[in-house]
Chain A
Amino acid sequence: MRSDTDHLGRPVVVITGMGVITSLGQGQAENWAALTGGRSGIRQITRFPTTNMRTTIAGTVDFIPVPDMSAPALSERLAELVIAEAIAESGLGSGGDFPGPLFLALPPVELEWPQRQALALASGANESVHYDDLRKAARAGGFEANYRRFLFGSVGESLADRFGTKGSPIATSTACASGGTAIQLGVEAIRRGEAEAALVVGTDASVNAESIIRFSLLSALSTRNDPPSGASRPFSKDREGFVMAEGAGALVLETLAHARARGATVLGVVEGCGEAADGFHRTRSSPDGKPIIACMKHALEDAGLAPDAIGYINAHGTGTPENDKMEWVGVTAVFGERAASIPISSNKSMIGHTLTAAGAVEAIFTVLALKHGLLPPTINYETPDPALPVDCVPNKARAAKVGHAISNSFGFGGQNVCLVIGGEA
């Protein structure tokens, strides 16, 4: 039986509740069945017109209605639903009284086109619309709800009110590593003794015309629109970009001692967290892979494990030519000769890239893989890339008993996080 403290004498941090929504569906059960069945959640975008766009597909969450649709509105709603699932499973902090802080991975917030157009309309400007006109309309009143909705603090504050988390909510963004960062912040707060438990959630529902186009302009997205399910091809030779997607994942973290004392079921253990920043380029990793290597090594050191202990890697695996290549460089540097024989699969082949939420969503799938002894596949793996001789669990889930896994998250802007997750308490 695992001790209540780890190799450095710190409290062991465990996961006792999880909630997840992706384009595959709502809840752990629905997602796990689809994920291990090799199903794709990527579809044609119907939320807005895609005329003139190079990419017309995404992993949108279209089945959760929200009034006054916007990225923060849907992101908040997804967060509420996954938190409710996680709290129900853990049995901790129900009734709007969660006994610890909230760490939230959130996409950046800004006014969107429908709100800008509403201001332009209200301004009465005809031929030519200027920001001065929008501002005049704003001063005339009636847009207070927009002001509140598009504050960066609004989602966290609203979740803190609803779930009764303690203290100031922390909303973090390290781009595509945000979910991992939020988990790490929660683990560190518990290790510092600030709380026995923490609520962590990553959420992202920012698929709109402008966000798709922004990624398109950076040539980051797959343009293989038909069929949508075939677009996300991590580790394949013919991979050509990621697929933008929505989703949310929530985890209840608490000390193992606390979980044991209340008789809670432990779903998984966050054994270690590692991070390293990259000063090379705004969108590209250092060619030597140093930061990616460092973040995996830091995570293993933090967990007190040798690379040999790791039996599964939940890859960042975006399906961009650059990411998958650099991730492989990192994995070979850290795991040496074992690299080609460790199963490394990418959930993004099925759910797309849930961006801010990815680190949290994929940590949850990693926990489920260890718990069920079943590794989710990398689908669309038809043309192996000879430069990346990975065992990516091609196309079909695989039964495997794994004790420890890592989950990687690498962000634009050079922020990288790696989590070590253990299955047994």
Chain B
Amino acid sequence: MPNNDRDAVITGIGIASCLGTGVEAHWAALTDPAGFKPVVDSDSFAPAMVHPIAALDLDKQIPKRGDQRQMEAWQRIGVFAAGLALDSAGIKGNADLLGKMGMIVAAGGGERDYAVDEAILSGLPKAADQGAYLNEHLLSDVRPTLFLAQLSNLLAGNISIVHGVVGWSRTFMGEEACGADAVRIACARIAAGQGDLTLVGGSYNAQRPDVVLHYEMGGASAAPPFAGIWARQAQGGGLVLGSLGCFLVIESRAHAQARGATILAKIASVRTDRCRREPGQATHNAFTQFHAMAQHLDQDTCAVISGASGLAAPTQEEAVWLEELGLPVRAVATALGHCLEPTFPASLALAALAVRHGKLFNPLDPAETVMDRPLRQALVTGWGHWRGEALALVTAP
């Protein structure tokens, strides 16, 4: 019998999205007998649509009001989800474990003061000396501590402060790919004995004019009315951004067993790569990744949790590849929205939930089919909307 002590297993999941907070709320929304109903805000950023974050009872995870005030929404969502993950793993408040727990956070940047930006942009053209005007207003109008809500590594910093995760801390940046690499490196460290206990994940606030603007500059925003990831392709595809926080506690099997933790699922394999996205290159990467983990695959009990963004070219290329695999598919961005950095951890979370329940949740899009037979595995795809291809296989413990 092979020694499986260094398996990377999931012992905690914390997730908050438009579907609610916590794994139970997500499972309930995804398995609603009446069928899946998307949660979409089509008005606030029209014509762009966003999946808004559910109401968060912040006091439950960020007890000090002062801490809440020091953060902007993307950090509050992330620190909240990290707290849920630590609760779920039974680690919350355990100073010994938190003191050696490391974290890899996948993060972009934080919110700006939009009113200050707008006032400066309005005043600049009329200013006699534009440079002096900009400096004067940034100095006098920007809240001094806003910087600390903007820096990418300050989501991790706030998790250290609020939850006490202080073993080690790294922040990866770079849209979808960094979320997948965070998981890959956490698992590789466990396999190599470089650590036993890691908090991995990130957060995204889609309800910000600057991020909506960013994807509009790229011509990447989906046009209304709302449609699922696959159905959307008939109207040109595109992104519908979603607010989300998701963290996983990833642990070595031996460590989880020694402390009597419940193992929710195992990450049997996770691989990431990149290419220039010339036609067929992403598919080539995906096949290479798939063949590297094919030995663990059980075709009859497996489904695909796809992280397809909705953007036309990569989504349609992935659809062709998935067609060849012939497995039932759920593109979870239909439900969560596309959430950039934490997308891959969130896809893994839903895969682990499905594995835990032994069944695949409802179709989210007319193109997706019901899976009646039991599910014991899930392949998780993570193709970035621009760059990066990732694949993981999540199995029963």
Contacts and interface: CB of A to CB of B under 8 A. Distances in A.
Contact of A108 (B150, B181, B386): B150
A128 B118 contact: yes
B151 to A, nearest CB: 6
A152 to B, nearest CB: 4
B140 to A, nearest CB: 9
B175 interface: yes
Interface string A98-132: 00000000101111010011011100000111111
A145 B57 CA distance: 40
Nearest to A157: B387
B145 to A, nearest CB: 7
Contacts of A152: 108-109, 152, 173-175, 178
Given A120-B121, A147-B217, A171 B178 contact: yes
Given A128-B118, A216-B139, A135 B151 contact: no
Interface stretch (B23-31, B155-163, B244-252, B327-335): B155-163
A279 B107 CA distance: 19
A50 to B, nearest CB: 7
B129 interface: yes
Given A152-B108, A217-B144, A131 B117 contact: yes
Contact of B215 (A147, A275, A414): A147
B380 to A, nearest CB: 15
Nearest to A161: B276
A52 B139 contact: yes
Interface stretch (A25-33, A188-196, A377-385): A188-196
B382 to A, nearest CB: 10
Interface in B206-231: 209-210, 212-221
Contacts of B178: 152-153, 170-171
Contacts of B165: 277, 279
Interface in A134-191: 134-135, 138-139, 141, 143-144, 146-148, 150-153, 156-157, 160-161, 167-175, 178, 181, 185, 188-189, 191
A292 to B, nearest CB: 12
A157 B157 contact: no
Contacts of A53: 135, 139
Contacts of A191: 192, 194
A49 interface: yes
A158 to B, nearest CB: 10
A119 B212 CA distance: 14
Contact of B168 (A109, A130, A276, A283): A276
B129 A172 contact: no
A213 interface: yes
A415 B177 CA distance: 22
Contact of B209 (A131, A192, A218): A131
Nearest to B106: A152
A7 interface: no
Interface string B157-197: 11011001111111111110110110011001101101000
Contacts of B41: none
Interface residues of B, number: 84
Given A111-B214, A135-B212, A281 B161 contact: yes
Contacts of B390: 168
B279 interface: no
B147 A153 contact: no
A209 B154 CA distance: 21
Contacts, number: 248
Contacts of B217: 138, 143-144, 146-147
Given A216-B139, A276-B166, A173 B173 contact: yes
Interface residues of A, number: 83
B170 A185 contact: yes
B153 A110 contact: no
B153 A173 contact: yes
Contacts of A215: 147
Interface in B262-278: 272-274, 276
A218 B221 CA distance: 36
A411 interface: yes
Contacts of A372: none
A278 interface: yes
A48 interface: yes
Nearest to B171: A173
Nearest to B47: A139
Contacts of A414: 157, 160-161, 166, 169
B173 A131 contact: no
A180 to B, nearest CB: 11
A178 B173 CA distance: 12
Contacts of B189: 188, 192
Contacts of B161: 279-282, 414
Contacts of B169: 174, 275, 277, 414-415
Contacts of B274: 157, 160, 167-169
B166 A173 contact: no
B177 to A, nearest CB: 5
A335 interface: no
15 contacts: A53-B135, A110-B112, A120-B121, A134-B209, A173-B152, A174-B169, A185-B170, A189-B188, A192-B189, A192-B192, A209-B138, A278-B160, A282-B148, A412-B148, A412-B157
